[in-house]
Structure 1
Amino acid sequence: MQPLYPDIKPYACHALAVDDTHTLHVEESGTPDGLPALFVHGGPGAGCDASSRCYFDPTLYRIVTFDQRGCGRSTPFASLENNSTWHLVEDMERIREQLGIDKWLLFGGSWGSTLALAYAQKHPDRVLGLVLRGIFLCRPQEFHWFYQEGASRLFPDYWQDYLAPIPPAERGELMQAYYRRLTGEDQIAQMQAAKAWAGWEGRTATLRPNHEVVERFHERALSIARIECHYFVNDAFLEPNQLLRDMERIAHLPGIIVHGRYDVICPLDNAWALHQAWPNSELQIIRDAGHSAGEPGIVDALVRATDAMARRLLRLPNGGDA
């Protein structure tokens, strides 16, 4: 198994004001004149951490990480104001321009795969290729599966804890019931809902129980729950089936898709449908893995994928034009 690259420290940090409300935390790591790559974190609302930099060979890549609106070290924390998919897409473009990058590789998992696809389809001429993990197409059936009925049948014990903050009379529309509490004035009810929402996701993220993963979700519970629920009750601000519909815009770009066979949060049919709509993609189904980017088989596949993309793109003329 290929492990993560060793921990490195960023060589530059930026506070980028993208509007009158939001300021993004942006970091650069690796080699300043290396192949530019943008790490697009999940959630939405999860933020980046030190491991976000470690999927890339730091001698080959100029690694850019950023905390999306409302999470991590971006401010204001857990804010829903001016926070949508298309705000984030334009934030990514603003970062690219600010850092003087012509084109870059996109690396995203879970919600990060959603956002990476949305950005690539909006700005295909700025993308060299994509490495995507735990594909999340944000269709109504995905939201229903995980937050209303479906995954509940695989984890009925964990599901009871997810249901606990919501009275039986409101359980017919669970996302809406959560949204009322996560955006309400009662801070105790808000935190109870946030911990239940994030705990459900953390406990189902790995094939085998992983206390550290659950703890990370609990530590970020408020931003994850508020921002995810805000996005999901609004269908992620996407038109029906938009990401698959618009794949022709990026059909020419190379892509590597990594997906756990037993991913309960984002079932494998997401990745399968994307691969079928993307002739220039390679799909790697990881036999002994669920959803988390930290599972050994997923780590192995992702590190090998970024290595392969570096070899492919750095061999091309004109700085890797795709």
Structure 2
Amino acid sequence: MLTEVRDTRLYVDQRGRSDAPPLLFVHGGPGAGSYDFMRFQGDRLARDFHLIGVDQRGVQRSDPLTGPVSEQDLIADYEALREQLGIEQWSLLGHSYGGRVALRYAAAHPSSVSRAVFENPAWDMVLATDTLLHAALPLLPGAELPPHTGPATKQMWDERIALLAQLGDRRMEIYLGPDSRDLQLPADTELPAECHQRSGTFSAEITKSASFGETVLQQFAQLTQPALLIKGEYDPATSPREIELFRSDVPNGTYYYATGAGHFVHAEQPDLFARLLTGFLS
């Protein structure tokens, strides 16, 4: 349902008992929305949690953007929503780009977050797109990684995403494990074009914000909550350097390597994923 939060309306999908431990899903993309995750995990996780999936401002079923957006806006939205729902503390689950937003949120509002789970996160946008393109280049004969130094920029993002787009229908091959190559993401065919247009607008706006270029890796040391990193064997997003820093710098961090899975462990190995979360968060 659409819920008024700050100066907009967000689409909020709540599943499970209201008195169960609350769990917020922070989607990636940028602009991917919560539709796919809730299709694969909503009913599973609702058995044990009060699961809350939110389309970030301007994304999918939320109201369209009317101006610029930053990662600080997303964090402020989540914190305002927590207060509106009367939740004292909740756990966070950030997927892909959402892992970056979840890390920012947990570091900025430690008293609001009890635990944090990161599924194939893209914490550093330069490292993550490096890793993505190294996975893609074998499918693009003659293509080269666009050079880049310094923090992430919109130009860097646009150049690298344009190169990924050359994969066309083969793009999902780099995201999925070999046993999941027939996986379809429901939002691609089940949501109307208007929802995808909103997500595209969001992505264009967030990637040109100053917040997008900032590194967040130094915030690992501020992550005082117990944290779980789930990394798929064939995931092309989370770089070895990010994994190394998580394992060395997060005070209460746990690392799980999902053999056989790719970027969407929650969809490729849904029962395993639900058990992992239930075991860690309960």
**Shorter-chain TM band:** 0.7 to 0.9
What is the CA distance between 1:250 and its match in structure 2? 1.9
Q: Does 1:227 align with 2:202?
A: yes
Choose 24-33 or 299-308, whichever is displaced more: 299-308
Total equivalences in the alignment: 268
Structure 2 CA distance for partners of 1:96 and 1:178, relative to 1, 3 Å: closer
Structure 2 CA distance for partners of 1:211 and 1:230, relative to 1, 3 Å: farther
What is the CA distance between 1:153 and its match in structure 2? 2.1
Alignment partner, residue 102 of structure 2: 116
Structure 2 CA distance for partners of 1:216 and 1:175, relative to 1, 3 Å: farther
Alignment partner, residue 303 of structure 1: 274
What is the CA distance between 1:94 and its match in structure 2? 0.8
User: 1-side partners of 2:29 and 2:206: how far apart?
Assistant: 10
Alignment partner, residue 293 of structure 1: 265
User: 1-side partners of 2:71 and 2:167: how far apart?
Assistant: 21
Structure 2 CA distance for partners of 1:199 and 1:178, relative to 1, 3 Å: farther
Name the SS for the 2:265 alignment partner. coil
User: 2-side partners of 1:235 and 1:197: how far apart?
Assistant: 29
Superposed CA deviations along residues 35-94 of structure 1, whole A, max 9, x for unmatched, are 1111111112111123342451x2431111110112121011xx3723211100000001
Alignment partner, residue 245 of structure 2: 273
User: 2-side partners of 1:205 and 1:106: how far apart?
Assistant: 23
**Identical aligned pairs, as a percentage?**
23
Q: Which runs of 5 or more residues in structure 1 are unaligned? A: 1-12, 164-170, 183-191, 312-322
The Cα RMSD (Å) is 3.5
Query: Match for 2:128 among 132, 139, 142?
Result: 142
Name the SS for the 1:135 alignment partner. coil
Name the SS for the 2:30 alignment partner. coil
Calculate the TM-score normalised by the size of structure 1. Answer: 0.70
Alignment partner, residue 138 of structure 2: 154
User: 1-side partners of 2:115 and 2:257: how far apart?
Assistant: 19
Greater RCO between the two (CA within 8 Å, min separation 6)? 2
Name the SS for the 2:234 alignment partner. coil
| Pairing of 1:1-322 with structure 2 (within 5 A) | 13-19=1-7, 22-49=8-35, 50-56=39-45, 58-76=46-64, 79=65, 81-146=67-132, 149-156=133-140, 176=155, 202-208=172-178, 210-213=181-184, 216-217=187-188, 222-234=197-209, 236-237=211-212, 239-240=214-215, 242=216, 244-251=217-224, 253-297=225-269, 299-311=270-282
Check whether the contact 1:43–1:112 (CA below 8 A) recurs between aligned residues: yes
Calculate the TM-score normalised by the size of structure 2. Answer: 0.79
